[in-house]
Structure 1
Amino acid sequence: MRTIIFTALLLGVSMSAFADLENGIKAYNAGNFDTARIEFSKAAQKNDPKGKHLLASLYYQGHGVKKDIKKAVTLFTEAAEGNYGPSQANLGLMYHNGDGVAPDMKKAIHYYEAAANKGDLQSTFNLGQIYRKGEGVNQDMNKAVHYYKKAADVGHIPSINEYGLLFAQGTGVRLDYVEAYAWISFAAASGDAQASKNLKQLEQILGGEVKKGKKRADEVRKMIQKKG
């Protein structure tokens, strides 16, 4: 399960729930989980999806309450139905991995798509993985390429590495070692260990054409920085 992120959580919150969430977040950050539970419960009772999401996270982690995955799923679902992206992303992961629920790829994809449409890059990447591997669906490389590139274009490192590998393998896209080098070099420069290994292999394959790869890599870097 992803780590709870508190930054920007209060954007779009109803005024009636704002103070509850603010107090709850302060209590959570101070390690006072019982007070956090009380404050998040107040917001949840006002039907605030962020309050439900944060309360669900407490039940998922067992902070301030007895760990209760079933209760967490119920609250995440209510928040997701309230169009709250982080809950949609969490449910996608839970149904994908069978975490506290029966594995259900149809539901996983549904929630991942909802979160991806709100800009959640991990959900976007996970969709790429599902369609590339054919997990519970027919393999669809067009969709895999779409999702990898969507996240790669704005700097999601795992997606950048996977997108580059597609060109190195000629899977779903043309075989193009220069293009593969360009994308994977960005991921490697960001500290991704696997990307660094992939880059060394590509350098051996390219030989004298590494200069072309570096030139294209500079173009890709500028594009990502502009979009990201």
Structure 2
Amino acid sequence: MAAPALADVKAGVDAWSRGDYAMAVREWVGPAEQGDPDAQFNLAQAYRLGRGVDADQAQAEALYARAAAQGHIKAADNYGLILFQKGEREKAMPYIEGAAMRGDPRAQYLLGIAYFNGDLVEKDWRRAYALTSLANSTGLPQARGALAQMDDFIPLADRQAAQTLAAEIKAKAEATRARELAAVDLALASETAAPRNLPTPPSSSKPGVDYPTRSPSDPKATIVARAEPPAPARTAPEAVATPPKVSPPPAAIAQTPTRASGSWKIQLGAFGVPGNADKLWDKLASRSEVAGRQKVKEPAGRLTKLLAGGYATRDEAAAACASLKRSGQDCLVTQ
């Protein structure tokens, strides 16, 4: 079934490019039901924008979630933003962090505010200013307003130090995104549309945040990200995923002896070439975060997911994942 499914996804991409959205949707439905992550992502885009089908945000969310679970980067980025807008911020944060570390300005804006407020992450005003500056550099209006607010609270020395940190984050994000896109072997078209699906700024002198009434020295100063998304733009072309010619991953799940038997795992990557999962494990196996844990290779459509398993609690898995991220290795907590 693999070859016909890939052909259908490609036919859908061609139809989408011609503006025949209904035909594109028809081509993607079958592969999406069979578990193809590109088809699921593309179909989610169609439901989100209402192209070829009636707009259905719940259906889009479900499809993004299914593709994200298979390691689809763009799907994971969009899914995290949807969760955040729904108020499921704790569940969204791992996706937001991953997207921000890949350079997504929408996620950088939200994560920057989280670091400013100390909301679900440890308060870090330098990192907050660095991330928000990166989002602002893309022209994101919400980031501009948030940055203006931060100027009233963050000392000049920290703002200056944040510029160096922003350059480091940007360089690491570019490398991370290139590495992850190569790892999943997905040929994604570049998305030229302006950033969207962000909290809508209020009408005020400083859009995008609640104007604080506290003095700049008050440590309880907060910036609030709005949670009402604007209507999606319908004129700019959307990215759709074109499937590469790859072999399906093996059905077997390989595991190594474990030092724990918990149900929580850390997803380390998703690969079109199963051998690349083994190479990454060999690279990380000696690190304290994963040493002695289960090596789990799960088939996911035509990809192979690599996970470290055996964490007793979500907090334990999240701590290990956070440590890996600090060293440049992206990951995702799952169960």
The code of the aligned residue for 2:53 comes to: V
- Match among 147, 162, 169 for residue 199 of structure 1: 147
In the alignment, is the contact (CA less than 8 A) between 1:181 and 1:199 conserved in 2?
yes
Secondary structure of the structure 2 residue equivalent to 1:48:
helix
In the alignment, is the contact (CA less than 8 A) between 2:81 and 2:107 conserved in 1?
no
Mapped to 1, the partners of 2:52 and 2:21 lie a distance apart of 9
Q: 1:204 to 1:117 in 2, by over 3 A?
A: same
Match of residue 122 from structure 1: 74
Structure 2 residue 8 is matched with structure 1 residue 52: yes
Structure 2 residue 32 is matched with structure 1 residue 84: no
1:82 Cα shift? Answer: 4.5
Q: TM-score, normalised by structure 1?
A: 0.61
**What count of residue pairs does the alignment treat as equivalent?**
175
The code of the aligned residue for 1:145 comes to: M
Mapped to 1, the partners of 2:70 and 2:164 lie a distance apart of 33
Match of residue 19 from structure 1: none
Mapped to 2, the partners of 1:206 and 1:68 lie a distance apart of 48
Mapped to 2, the partners of 1:104 and 1:162 lie a distance apart of 24
Mapped to 2, the partners of 1:104 and 1:172 lie a distance apart of 30
Match of residue 211 from structure 1: 160
1:104 Cα shift? Answer: 4.2
Give the structure with the higher percent helix: 1
Secondary structure of the structure 1 residue equivalent to 2:93:
helix
1:211 Cα shift? Answer: 3.3
Mapped to 2, the partners of 1:213 and 1:68 lie a distance apart of 44
In the alignment, is the contact (CA less than 8 A) between 1:168 and 1:180 conserved in 2?
yes
In the alignment, is the contact (CA less than 8 A) between 1:121 and 1:156 conserved in 2?
no
* Correspondences of 1:165-184 after superposition (within 5 Å): 165-184=113-132
Match of residue 107 from structure 1: 59
Secondary structure of the structure 2 residue equivalent to 1:206:
coil
Residue by residue over 1:133-153, the C-alpha shift from the partner in whole angstroms, topping out at 9 and shown as x without a partner, is: 21xxxx311122111111111
Q: 1:91 to 1:68 in 2, by over 3 A?
A: closer
Secondary structure of the structure 2 residue equivalent to 1:213:
helix
Q: TM-score, normalised by structure 2?
A: 0.44
In the alignment, is the contact (CA less than 8 A) between 1:141 and 1:171 conserved in 2?
no
Structure 2 residue 27 is matched with structure 1 residue 75: yes
The code of the aligned residue for 2:88 comes to: D
Single out whichever of 71-80 and 214-223 deviates more from structure 2. Answer: 214-223
1:176 Cα shift? Answer: 3.8
1:123 Cα shift? Answer: 2.1
Secondary structure of the structure 2 residue equivalent to 1:125:
helix
1:107 Cα shift? Answer: 3.2
Higher-RCO chain (CA-CA 8 Å, sequence separation at least 6): 2
Identity rate, percent = 23
Mapped to 1, the partners of 2:174 and 2:24 lie a distance apart of 37
Mapped to 2, the partners of 1:219 and 1:58 lie a distance apart of 38
In the alignment, is the contact (CA less than 8 A) between 1:132 and 1:141 conserved in 2?
yes
Mapped to 2, the partners of 1:119 and 1:186 lie a distance apart of 25
